[in-house]
Chains A and B, each alone.
Chain A
Amino acid sequence: MEVSKNPDRLNYSTKAKQLLDKVEESNYFGLANRGGAGVSRSEIFLFAMAIGAESKSPTVIKNPYAGGLVLEKSIDSKTKAVMYAQYISQLADPENELDEISKKGEVYKLAEQYANTGFECIEEYLDKKTPETLLFELFVELDEQYKELNIDKA
């Protein structure tokens, strides 16, 4: 998939689209969009991106869904901030390569690939775990992450 220099949306795979259709029906983990009344698509994308980023394995979107997931105008500021921060954090010399973030296409691409990984994980959760199970497993993960990050000592 050719990277657009100035993308106007966040894309996701057709498979991820199908996953979200299922989620929409079951409201798995409270992720249903419900025509905008539930969780926003930008938030869904960010959650998937977080799951994917945690795995540190961005995956290429092989079969992108035409139309994308979130239009540029609907990307909320938090999602946008995280996308750029994540991009900066993996630059080899971020202090001297900051202008790299002006390459919006690259920033979006990385984010989409992490999200793609995340959607894969979510699909697995959906198949294997009840939301409650996922909830308490995630609590355990969060406890560990919090501990590892030494946040309270920061």
Chain B
Amino acid sequence: MRILSIDIRNYRQYQSLSFMFPESKNSDIHIIIAQNGVGKTNLLNAITWCLYSKEPHLGDEDKNRGLPKLNLTAMDMARAEGKDTVMVEVEIRAQDDNQHLTYKRSLPFRINGPEPFEEAAKEKFTVTTATAVGDPKVYEGEEAKNYVNKYMPEKVREYFYFDGEQLNNYFVSARKGKVRDAIFNISQVDVLHRIYERIGEIIKDKQREAGAKTPDIAKITNELSDVETQLLSIETKIEDLEDQIAKSERIIKENTEYLQGEDNFPELEKEYQELKAKQTNLTNEIKELMASMYTFVREMKLTLVFYEAAKKTLAIIAMKESENALPPNIDKEMLQKALKEHTCTVCNQSLSADGEEFIKKLIESFQVSSKTSNLLMSIRSELERIVRTALSYPEEKKRMKDKYKYLTDQLSEVGVNLDNIDKRINRVSNKEELRLKHNEREEHEELKKQNIEKLGVAKDQLKKAEDRKTKLTTDLNKALAKDMECAKLRQLIDFATNGRNIIAEVETDMMDEVRSKMEERTTYYFNELIWKKNTYDRIKLDKDFQLDLIHKDGYSCVGTTSAAERALLALSFTLALHEVSGFNSLLFIDTPVARVSDLNRINFANVLCEVSKNKQLIMTFTPDEYSPEIKKIFDQAAKTKVELALHDEKITVLK
């Protein structure tokens, strides 16, 4: 695709300007020369705004000032004419083989306020197509965008319209992957990839469809097999339980018949044993009680026998005490000895007549000796206890006799019961056999009870397993029927999978081929552009198409190249990309030789002249950049050459 003309109305510096790019057989170079600030870069912005509604190349000054897209002179004029709205428009006419395309974007600005107001909602973009014989068609919205992406995809716009001043940053790491994607697009391998992805989606859809339609027959079969095994196991278990229950019932019946009339024999024996144990306990209790009673009677015998003696003695002690006849501390014998020896036994002094008289009176007052007194005191408490114990006799005796009566009555009753049971037991001749039969019957009654419960559970399990088997059998039949339906679907999936794998291989091959050719052509262009002919060996591209420059000595040197060399590398890469991909679109370079000088410029000009034989090239220069050495070459080759000027410092016009 090549651009035939660009018409700009009321966009930034451009009030109304048309650029024509007629085709030439030998060369398709178009030169635009303008001083800085006149509108070279905004021409590039006008193109990207028209096609993508974006202005990626605005200078910092414009961004900061936030000037409207609307040309200010046009606004003033419209206001002067009393208009409320001014339309900003860019129209690009292009041609691809026999198809004519017109890309047009318009944006109205309301100007009745102090500041112009961008009516973004009313922005309009159309693509009009027409063949050589007419038949125009206008597209808007997504259809219009599709026409843009068909010839100049937005994703890769940087490879069609780029700023020469930025060329040295072309291969910064941030672009990694983006370059590969761009090549993917430009070389149209993405078409294959889209097919690959589309087939993948189709495969997924069909797999889902097949998955929904094709039940897992193996899974159902396995489950069915499990259920059948389970059923068999349950049925066997039920049979076993029923056999056991029948056996228990038979034993219970037989033993009941056997025990008829002697049914309660074991109970009788059990009762007999219990009574025997009770008898033993009672006997022991009575024995213990008898021992207590012996002790009690002995105790009470001496208590009552000596009761009077004790009471009498206590009375005498009490009387003597009341008469103070019991000497507390002074020994009567010691006093008598003192009288006899006329000497005090304490201080060993001779007693006076008065003293002896006093001792005589004292001895008379003490009726008993200290020894006697001490003895009386020592027995007193025991005698008091005897008197008290005597009082408790009737009560203690009653308690003991009652207990004795109770125990002996119990023992007697137990004896009677034992006799009765013994008589009944003794009537039975085959005691051991009866006991065994009874115990066996009891065990089987319990066993039968447990087995009936287990049988109930097992039958429930059987019912569930049978239901499950019925369901699984139905599922399996359905699955088998559906399996037939799915055979075709599986064939389609297999076919699509194979096709997709082949596409993936072709895609890889194509990318490898593109990369290989890219390496070759980038190396070629770089060698053509660079003045150093013996420094670099080749250019290498990795899988992400990251560029590396290999020095003649074999090492990587892209990181140490000059800004000019990097710009030339980027240009070489872009030219190689356009060539290898066969993407037939123009190349717009704004200030391409900003960082290039001298011999490199000449090389640059020669290379682009060569490229322009098959590709439309639009380049903008400052008058200084358009130096005599390239002017000489481009002036001869350029199909058009225009110079722009700024009228009244506001409006860009053709000089």
Contacts and interface: CB of A to CB of B under 8 A. Distances in A.
B372 interface: yes
B94 interface: no
Interface string A77-107: 1101110111011000011101101100000
Given A84-B379, A101-B375, A50 B301 contact: yes
Given A30-B295, A94-B312, A135-B293, A78 B301 contact: no
A43 B383 contact: no
B302 A47 contact: yes
Contacts of A102: 369, 371-372, 375
B312 A43 contact: no
A139 B296 CA distance: 10
Interface stretch (B50-58, B386-394, B464-472, B544-552): B386-394
Interface in A26-78: 29-31, 39, 43, 46-47, 49-51, 53-54, 77-78
Nearest to A148: B304
A149 interface: yes
A29 B290 CA distance: 9
Contacts of A143: 397
Interface on chain B toward A: helix, strand, loop, or mixed SS?
helix
B117 interface: no
Contacts of B367: 96, 98
A54 B305 CA distance: 6
Max chain B Cβ within 10 angstroms of own Cβ: one of A46, A47, A88, A94: A88
Interface string A97-127: 0110110000000000000000000000000
A145 interface: yes
Nearest to A98: B368
Contact of B306 (A30, A53, A139, A154): A53
B122 interface: no
A89 B320 CA distance: 15
Nearest to B304: A145
Max chain B Cβ within 10 angstroms of own Cβ: one of A49, A94, A149: A149
A146 B34 CA distance: 155
Contact of A89 (B309, B379, B385): B309
A2 interface: no
Contact of B294 (A29, A49, A101, A142): A29
A149 B307 contact: yes
Contacts of A43: 298
A96 to B, nearest CB: 7
A99 B369 CA distance: 6
B372 A99 contact: yes
B440 interface: no
B297 interface: yes
A119 B213 CA distance: 117
Contacts of A29: 294, 298
Nearest to B379: A81
A41 to B, nearest CB: 14
A46 B297 CA distance: 13
A135 B300 CA distance: 12
Contacts of A82: 302, 306, 309-310, 382-383, 386
Contacts of B138: none
Contacts of A95: 316, 319-320
A3 interface: no
B375 A84 contact: yes
Given A89-B312, A99-B368, A135-B293, A146 B386 contact: no
B308 interface: yes
B394 A146 contact: yes
Contacts of A47: 298, 301-302
B351 interface: no
Contact of A85 (B295, B313, B372): B313
Interface in B454-512: none
A62 B391 CA distance: 38
A148 to B, nearest CB: 9
Contacts of B391: 151-152
A131 B294 contact: yes
A102 B309 CA distance: 17
B220 interface: no
Max chain A Cβ within 10 angstroms of own Cβ: one of B298, B300, B319: B298
Contacts of A39: 295, 298
A138 B394 contact: no
A35 to B, nearest CB: 17
B393 A151 contact: yes
B294 A135 contact: yes
B77 interface: no
Max chain A Cβ within 10 angstroms of own Cβ: one of B290, B319, B380, B382: B382
B294 A85 contact: no
A151 B302 contact: no
A24 B298 CA distance: 16
A85 B319 CA distance: 15
A82 B378 CA distance: 11
B362 interface: no
Nearest to B297: A138
Max chain A Cβ within 10 angstroms of own Cβ: one of B302, B307, B320, B379: B302
Contact of A145 (B294, B305, B371): B305
B458 to A, nearest CB: 68
B290 A142 contact: no
A73 to B, nearest CB: 15
B297 A50 contact: no
Nearest to A104: B375
Given A50-B301, A82-B310, A96-B367, A135 B290 contact: yes
A135 B293 CA distance: 8
A88 B312 contact: yes
B17 interface: no
Interface of A: 29-31, 39, 43, 46-47, 49-51, 53-54, 77-78, 80-82, 84-86, 88-89, 94-96, 98-99, 101-102, 131-132, 135, 138-139, 141-143, 145-146, 149, 151-152, 154
26 contacts: A29-B298, A30-B294, A30-B295, A31-B294, A39-B298, A47-B298, A47-B301, A49-B302, A50-B305, A51-B305, A54-B301, A54-B305, A78-B386, A82-B302, A82-B310, A84-B313, A84-B375, A88-B309, A99-B372, A101-B372, A102-B375, A138-B301, A142-B297, A146-B304, A151-B307, A152-B391
Given A81-B379, A149-B304, 12 more contacts: A29-B294, A47-B298, A47-B302, A53-B305, A78-B385, A78-B386, A82-B382, A86-B306, A88-B309, A94-B313, A98-B372, A142-B393
10 tightest A-B contacts by CB?
A: A81-B382, A30-B294, A81-B379, A50-B302, A89-B309, A85-B313, A50-B305, A85-B309, A145-B304, A98-B368
